[in-house]
Structures are given as C-alpha cells and as structure tokens.
C-alpha cells in the first residue's frame, strides 16, 4: 500500500563544497534542499505521538550534516545521500528530494539548477 500522507520540508539551507570544479570544492556555496516524505500519519494522529511519525526538526539537522559533510562531484549523488537519510527516518515509505544549486558555475544568466530524485523503501 502506498502512503497517501506527506510531510514536506522546503528551503533547508546549508553551505557545502560539492561540484566538479576545484573552485567549488575550495570556496563552497549555499545549497537549498526540499524534501517530501510519504508515510502513513494516522498512527501518530490517533495517539498524538511524535514517536509514530517523523521528527522533522531532527531530520533537518541530519540533512544539513550531509550537505555540510563529505563533498561529492554531482548533485545526483548528494540527492541520493539525502534520500537515504529520509528513508531511515521512522515510517517513511518514500522520499522526494530536490537539491537546488542557485550559484552553480553557469556562464549565462539562470535562476536555479535543481536535481530531484524519488526513492522508496525496499
């Protein structure tokens, strides 16, 4: 059965050193993360119990640690690592993770670069 409920955390900001260019690894830049978690929230609502759902404050801290942690070349890799953290959070069945890189080294005007992945618990 697929969960119909969701919890969304938008605009989580952290400084990381991800990218393919040496300057990105040296100088770093801000990354913005959005996650949508799919889960059944009925047990938490029935008992008004945080232990039956996702503590999104704690999850936010864990996600920031990943962004601030070991550098990777690709946003795809970073998004995968963030999705793994989300899927390890309590009753999460599916995670949609978007990583924004608004200061990507692109030589023409642009607004944002976003890589999104969807991962399900196996």
This prediction has a pTM of: 0.94
Which tens digit of pLDDT belongs to each residue from 96-111?
999 999 999 999 999 9
Q: Encode pLDDT of 37-91 as tens digits.
A: 999 999 999 999 999 999 999 999 999 999 999 999 999 999 999 999 999 998 9
Domain ranges within the chain, ordered by starting residue: 5-120
Choosing from 22, 60, 101, 114, the catalytic residue is 101
Q: How far apart are CA 60 and CA 33, in angstroms?
A: 10
Class of domain 5-120: alpha beta
Left, alpha or beta for 11 (phi > 0: left; psi -120 to 50: alpha)? left
Q: Is 10 a catalytic residue?
A: no
């Amino acid at each position: 059965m697929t969960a119909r409920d969701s919890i969304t955390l938008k605009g989580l900001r952290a400084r990381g050193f991800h990218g393919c260019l040496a300057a990105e690894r040296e100088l770093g830049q801000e990354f913005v993360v959005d996650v949508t978690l799919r889960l059944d929230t009925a047990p938490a609502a029935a008992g008004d119990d945080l232990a039956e759902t996702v503590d999104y404050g704690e999850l936010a801290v864990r996600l920031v640690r990943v962004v601030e942690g070991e550098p990777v070349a690709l946003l795809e890799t970073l998004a995968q690592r963030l999705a793994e953290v989300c899927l390890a959070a309590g009753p999460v069945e599916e995670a949609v993770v978007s990583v924004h890189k608004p200061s990507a080294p692109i030589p023409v005007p642009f607004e944002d670069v976003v890589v999104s992945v969807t991962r399900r618990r196996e």
